[in-house]
Amino acid sequence: MELTTIWFALIAVLWTGYFVLEGFDFGVGILLPVIGRDERERRTILRTIGPVWDGNEVWVLVAGGATFAAFPEWYATLFSGFYLALFVILAGLIVRGVALEFRSKRDDPAWRRRWDALIVLGSFIPALLWGVAFGNIVAGVPIDADKEFTGTFFTLLNPFALLGGLTTLLLFITHGAIFLSLKTDGVLRERARRSAWVAGIPAAAVAVAFLAWAQAIRGDAVSAVLAVLAAVAFVGGLVAIRVRHEGWAFVGTAATIALAVASLFVALFPDVMPSSTDPAFSLTTTNAASTDYTLAIMTAVAVVFTPIVLVYQGWTYWVFRKRVTLPPAAGEP
């Protein structure tokens, strides 16, 4: 197998890991005022992601760095053409991170409400815009012979891409609700279960529509099978949460996101950024890649350090695997 194909697959794995792990973070952030009715409940909700949210964000940093090193032409065209959209996503991530750290710095209800609103906003924006960005990549964007993006910000706001944004938003909300039902108990657990079911029904419909449309635009037999498996996994996850098997429900939504992302990358290959102007102008794993020597060095580094990172993050999740208990209200024993 060529190194360019290996690195395309590795970048797909990195984005898959990011969406699976950061996806429930976004969902938890969006659901914070829905499931948490008072400060005690909201603080408990945030404790479920407190030990892991910043580690989950590392996946997108590594994915961006790997794209820059392995496919510099892809990186240059993507980040210049999607500059404003990616800037808005970055701003959302920064705002969310700051809000998560600062909300507890002052014992003031108004202070905390403002930061909670920013947590919701900083979770909502990336959850929506990542889907819009990937929808555009799959469908193709105007790229000229010099590998430069020739569209505008509004070019990216097309129906297919917006449907992709709605898909990731609803999937992440459902994924986050199931994560909360897995990590909390009592009233929070019950509210999270209900929220997962309420969000899951429209999420299923929108996701099926998006994946079917993606297959019509750019699909093959393998990507179609992965899309069908994603739909099956999501239905299984909803059934599991309905019968109170939160662990299997979480496996179902995680598998759904992973299979859906894999389906999109398989449909995309060997292109990395198709051109809607002329297919001959598309960026591929060949014309957008670094030299073989660069890829060989990167491969050696990845072989050594990737298992270490995975083991460490797995250990983190294992240490914080238990449910987070709602503390007693004031005056309770």
HEC string for 250-292: HHHHHHHHHHHHHHHHHHHCCEEECECCCHHHCEECCCCCCCH
Q: Does residue 331 belong to any structural domain of this protein?
A: no
Residue-wise pLDDT for 73-113, tens only, equals 999 999 888 988 899 999 999 999 999 999 888 888 899 99
pLDDT at residue 324 greater than cutoff 90: no
Q: Does residue 15 belong to any structural domain of this protein?
A: yes
Q: If you average pLDDT over residues 104-129, what whole number do you get? A: 93
Alpha helices in the chain (DSSP H): 3-35, 39-49, 53-70, 72-81, 83-102, 109-139, 159-183, 186-217, 221-242, 246-268, 292-319
Give residue 330's pLDDT: 54
The domain that contains 157 carries what CATH number?
1.20.1630
Give residue 106's pLDDT: 87
The model's confidence at residue 153, banded by pLDDT at 50, 70 and 90, is: confident
Q: Does residue 327 belong to any structural domain of this protein?
A: no
Cα distances from 197 to residues 69, 182, 228, 235, 323, in angstroms, run 41, 14, 21, 11, 20
Q: Does residue 325 belong to any structural domain of this protein?
A: no
Count of domains for the chain: 1
pLDDT at residue 261 greater than cutoff 70: yes
Q: Does residue 175 belong to any structural domain of this protein?
A: yes
Give residue 312's pLDDT: 86
pLDDT at residue 331 greater than cutoff 60: no
Residue-wise pLDDT for 42-71, tens only, equals 999 999 998 888 888 889 989 999 999 999
Domain housing 26: 3-319
Range from 97-111, 162-176, 197-211 carrying the lowest mean pLDDT? 97-111
- DSSP class of residue 152 equals -
275 bridge partner residues: 141
pLDDT at residue 126 greater than cutoff 90: yes
283 bridge partner residues: 273
Give residue 71's pLDDT: 93
- DSSP class of residue 38 equals S
d(CA 193, CA 189): 6
d(CA 36, CA 113): 12
The model's confidence at residue 20, banded by pLDDT at 50, 70 and 90, is: very high
Give residue 53's pLDDT: 86
Say if CB 275 and CB 140 are below 8 A apart: yes
SS3 state of residue 146: coil
Q: If you average pLDDT over residues 283-307, what whole number do you get? A: 90
Give residue 1's pLDDT: 62
Give residue 196's pLDDT: 95
The model's confidence at residue 174, banded by pLDDT at 50, 70 and 90, is: very high
Give residue 329's pLDDT: 65
Q: Does residue 329 belong to any structural domain of this protein?
A: no
Q: Does residue 8 belong to any structural domain of this protein?
A: yes
Say if CB 56 and CB 94 are below 8 A apart: no
pLDDT at residue 221 greater than cutoff 70: yes
d(CA 287, CA 71): 9
- Average pLDDT over the chain, rounded to an integer: 91
Give residue 327's pLDDT: 76
Q: Does residue 332 belong to any structural domain of this protein?
A: no
pLDDT at residue 248 greater than cutoff 60: yes
pLDDT at residue 2 greater than cutoff 90: no
